[in-house]
């Protein structure tokens, strides 16, 4: 799963937790949990964009997919951290944009696992977009066709061009793709997003993340065959549990809220802001988060975006017919306990009875290609400048 790192004005890096989509059964069966004492056979060498990092070593938990990093300096106690400190991150020599981190077992030339770290500036802005039902036309069919059948035609018309327009108009650094898909299907999701060509399916050179190593967001933004470039955040729960939440219970708001607040947290850390639970809520509510627009196909998506600080009127709700609605609901209490009570339209969520009451939704548009939607977005961005 992709990680998000944010650079502070002083140059220090702050990062979300590190996960890798390990195969099952895991080829790294000798690797134990990161909390266990290290043994020589369990250590993984670290490479960033193909360059060996001799000062850092890794371990991976083959059950959770968590990755822990530690320094190799014998004078320092070796402690593996799944959320590395700024001093450890400095040793990786990460660059702005997409960094490919490969982990290799000793004496093996092929990477055992790999993940990506996207480095942003603390002042960068991001749009957040759901995948199934938002890029694809429906949750279940879109998931099955893109993951199991390799078919990429069942997507909303104009969605990639609209996302590019949204990023360009808002001067954003890209899109963060947030999906409840299990992280074991990260590669298939990446092929959909980074290889889509107006419904034509993935390009051959999109099958490996090495296509992007060392490239900046500006150069990647000009790639005409793909969606706007950005990290893909997936659900690190088990395959069955994540599918159950996505397709049966539809209860994804907690996962998505927590995932977005984790990203908000590192932006606030990089901005030298307090990141205790209450402080995150206050800073997000005051406009301190990076997310400026959110697009989803369910109320739970919209609630998660609101919890992460996306302002009212900047959240778009799309249905299976591609009709797009300006979501104007509000939440009085999020699953993480953040309170939003500043007046205006209200949306109340009864967490105990799982009831959702939406009030006063906004205007609607015919689809992603609707010129009226494009005008709305541009005028909204100008009014918020």
Kindly state the percentage of the chain with pLDDT values over 70.
64
Read off the pLDDT of residues 95-115 as tens digits, 9 standing for 90 and up: 999 999 999 987 666 667 889
Asked if 190 and 208 count as a contact pair (C-beta separation under 8 A), the reply is no
Determine the Cα angle at 270 with ends 268 and 273, to 5°. 40
pLDDT of residue 269: 92
pLDDT band at 171 (very low <50, low <70, confident <90, very high): very high
* Stretch 149-155: mean pLDDT: 73
The DSSP bridge partners found for residue 127 are: 175, 293
CA atoms of 181 and 234, how far apart (whole Å)? 6
Widest CA span of the chain, in angstroms? 63
Asked if 58 and 14 count as a contact pair (C-beta separation under 8 A), the reply is no
Burial 102-131 (b: 16+ CB within 10 A, else e): bbbbeeeeebbbbbbbbbbebebbbbbbbb
Q: Which residue has the higher pLDDT, 260 or 288?
A: 260
CA of residue 33 relative to chain centroid, distance: 24
Of 290, 295, 286, 232, nearest to 265 (Cα)?
Answer: 290
Read off the pLDDT of residues 220-250 as tens digits, 9 standing for 90 and up: 433 344 789 999 998 876 556 655 665 555 6
* Stretch 324-344: mean pLDDT: 54
CA atoms of 130 and 323, how far apart (whole Å)? 16
pLDDT of residue 212: 45
Which of 151-165, 295-309, 327-341, 342-356 is the least confident region? 342-356
* Stretch 118-132: mean pLDDT: 95
pLDDT of residue 192: 82
CA atoms of 54 and 175, how far apart (whole Å)? 33
Q: What is the model's pTM?
A: 0.78
Assess whether pLDDT exceeds 90 at residue 183: no
pLDDT band at 273 (very low <50, low <70, confident <90, very high): very low
**382 DSSP 8-state letter:** H
Give the pair of three-digit tokens for residue 350. Answer: 């009864």
Kindly state the percentage of the chain with pLDDT values over 90.
46
Asked if 230 and 175 count as a contact pair (C-beta separation under 8 A), the reply is yes
pLDDT of residue 37: 36
Q: Which residue's structure tokens are 């190799």?
A: 72
Assess whether pLDDT exceeds 90 at residue 274: no
Assess whether pLDDT exceeds 90 at residue 146: no
CA atoms of 291 and 28, how far apart (whole Å)? 36
Asked if 23 and 29 count as a contact pair (C-beta separation under 8 A), the reply is no
pLDDT of residue 92: 97
Assess whether pLDDT exceeds 50 at residue 357: no
* Stretch 196-203: mean pLDDT: 38
pLDDT band at 42 (very low <50, low <70, confident <90, very high): confident
Q: What burial class does residue 278 get, using C-beta atoms within 10 Å of its C-beta: 0-12 exposed, 13-18 middle, 19+ buried?
A: exposed
pLDDT of residue 371: 96
Give the pair of three-digit tokens for residue 184. Answer: 């074991």
């Amino acid at each position: 799963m992709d990680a998000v790192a944010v650079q502070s004005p002083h140059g220090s890096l702050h990062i979300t937790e590190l996960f890798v989509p390990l195969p099952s059964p895991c080829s790294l069966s000798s690797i134990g949990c990161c909390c266990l004492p290290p043994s020589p056979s369990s250590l993984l060498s670290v490479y960033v964009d193909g360059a060996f990092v001799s000062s850092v070593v890794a371990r991976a938990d083959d059950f959770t997919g968590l990755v822990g990093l530690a320094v190799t300096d014998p004078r320092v106690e070796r402690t593996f951290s799944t959320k590395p400190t700024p001093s450890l991150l400095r040793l990786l020599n990460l660059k702005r944009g997409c960094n490919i981190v490969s982990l290799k077992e000793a004496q093996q030339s092929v990477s055992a696992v790999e993940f990506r770290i996207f480095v942003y500036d603390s002042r960068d802005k991001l749009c957040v977009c759901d995948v199934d039902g938002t890029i694809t036309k429906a949750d279940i069919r879109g998931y099955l066709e893109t993951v199991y059948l390799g078919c990429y035609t069942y997507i909303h018309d104009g969605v990639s061009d609209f996302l590019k327009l949204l990023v360009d108009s808002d001067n954003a650094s890209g899109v963060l793709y947030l999906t409840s898909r299990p992280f074991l299907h990260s590669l298939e999701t990446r092929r959909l997003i980074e290889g889509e060509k107006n419904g034509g399916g993935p390009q051959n050179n999109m099958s490996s993340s090495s296509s992007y190593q060392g490239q900046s967001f500006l150069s990647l933004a000009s790639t005409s065959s793909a969606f706007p470039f950005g990290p893909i955040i997936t659900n690190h729960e088990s395959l069955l549990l994540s599918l159950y939440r996505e397709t049966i219970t539809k209860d994804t708001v907690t996962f998505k809220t927590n995932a977005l607040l984790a990203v908000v947290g590192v932006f606030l850390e990089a901005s030298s802001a307090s990141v205790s639970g209450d402080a995150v809520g206050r800073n997000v509510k005051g406009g301190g988060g990076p997310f400026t627009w959110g697009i989803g196909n369910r109320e739970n998506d919209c609630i998660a975006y609101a919890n992460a600080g996306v302002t009212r009127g900047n959240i778009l709700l799309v249905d299976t017919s591609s009709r797009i609605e300006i979501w104007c609901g509000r939440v009085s209490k999020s699953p993480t306990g953040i309170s939003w009570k500043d007046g205006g339209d209200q949306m109340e969520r009864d967490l105990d009875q799982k009831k959702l009451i939406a009030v006063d939704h906004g205007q609607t548009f015919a689809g992603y290609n609707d010129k009226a939607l494009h005008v709305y977005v541009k005028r909204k961005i100008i009014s918020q400048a």
